Amino acid sequence: MQTPDNNSNQSNNNQPSNSPLAEFSGRSLFFVLLLTLIAFVLMSSTFYFAALFETVIDEYGSVPDPQVILDNQDHLINLMLDKISAGVGAWPLYMQLLWMMNQLIILFPALLFLRTRRLPAFIHLRIRPVQPSYLVYGAFIGLSIAVIGDELTRIVDLIQPIPDAMGEQMAKMLSYSNFQEFLVLFLTICVIAPFTEEAIFRGLTQRWFERNRGVTSGVLATSAIFAFVHANMYFLLPILILATILGAVAWRVESILPSVVIHAVNNTLGLLLTNKYGTTDPEWYVFKGHIAPWWLVIAGVVLYFSLKRLFENAERDGLGGHGPSGDSGTNINTTA
């Protein structure tokens, strides 16, 4: 990557705040991410409070005297956690909607910030239309990463065994028994979460790091934050690799839409296969406890050629790392 044009960067930094070319400070980014975290915690607390309320109603038939709840709080909390881990089938509709809103709410602080600063969200969140071919490549990349990530998780399991209870709990959380439950899971995990997470991480956050710390630092720093937020040591390596590819694709195409497809396909595959096979591996997929070598070879080849074609097409179409000023990807975001 080449050294940026300092004059170009200086002119961009001097843009008025209501210009689409204007940027914002690292302090502003930190403030937005902090508000995002607070919004997520508040909505999560609302969801847990709703679960506790439903638990109390199930246990007593109505809301008892507060002292009764305090005297039995440990028992009620355990019942509440069991209700949550039982999955969407054990939740009333309003709890399902609260869970869905928990994923949607993380985008609101960024949208509010950009609107207040009069900055175009479609630029700063990288919500840029792309040709359908980029989305098709994204789908193939998502499929291949799901297979490779599964094998990486199995390798990690050899070093640090994943508790059986964790796998069973995840299977419960992803299970559905009717169309409404499927729709809630699909919209939350496969539509809303990929879009909002990509907009916040590969859009707002990564773009700031790219512009102020360089493209490589931007992709790696955002991937590390993404993995940290997901807070699961057993899946840390697959998440880091997935996040790095998501970041590279979003930068190269200057749009989160292919990354959203990658993210969505990865999540959708997990949702569908978990409901079909549970925690049992299908014989056609595994070989001696690991992903069959032929599937890994196919996944590796598909991943390589899909990324190669996507990057070549982006180069042909003149895409890649465009900032608000329209700078080319080889010419920006390399100053400290």
Same domain (yes/no): 43, 77: yes
pLDDT of 325 above 80 = no
pLDDT of 328 above 60 = no
Nearest CA among 220, 10, 261, 222 for reference residue 135: 261
Whole-angstrom distance, CA of residue 23 vs CA of residue 18: 10
Q: What is the helix (H) or strand (E) element at residue 245, kind and residue range?
A: helix 236-253
Residue 22 confidence (pLDDT): 53
**Mean pLDDT score, 32-47:** 95
Within a domain: 306: yes
Q: Domains in the chain: how many in total?
A: 2
Same domain (yes/no): 326, 203: yes
Domain's final residue, options 55, 83, 116: 116
Whole-angstrom distance, CA of residue 248 vs CA of residue 329: 11
**Mean pLDDT score, 41-56:** 95
Within a domain: 16: no
Domain's final residue, options 59, 82, 116: 116
Same domain (yes/no): 176, 219: yes
Same domain (yes/no): 66, 197: no
Same domain (yes/no): 283, 188: yes
Within a domain: 2: no
Write out pLDDT tens, residues 8-29.
444 444 444 444 445 788 999 9
Range of the domain at 36: 25-116
Same domain (yes/no): 198, 180: yes
Same domain (yes/no): 292, 217: yes
Residue 148 confidence (pLDDT): 95
Within a domain: 216: yes
Domain's final residue, options 94, 116, 138: 116
Q: What is the helix (H) or strand (E) element at residue 19, kind and residue range?
A: none
pLDDT of 93 above 90 = yes
Same domain (yes/no): 102, 167: no
Write out pLDDT tens, residues 214-233.
899 999 999 999 988 887 77
Within a domain: 293: yes
Write out pLDDT tens, residues 143-194.
999 999 999 999 988 888 888 788 788 888 899 999 999 999 999 999 999 9
Same domain (yes/no): 160, 306: yes
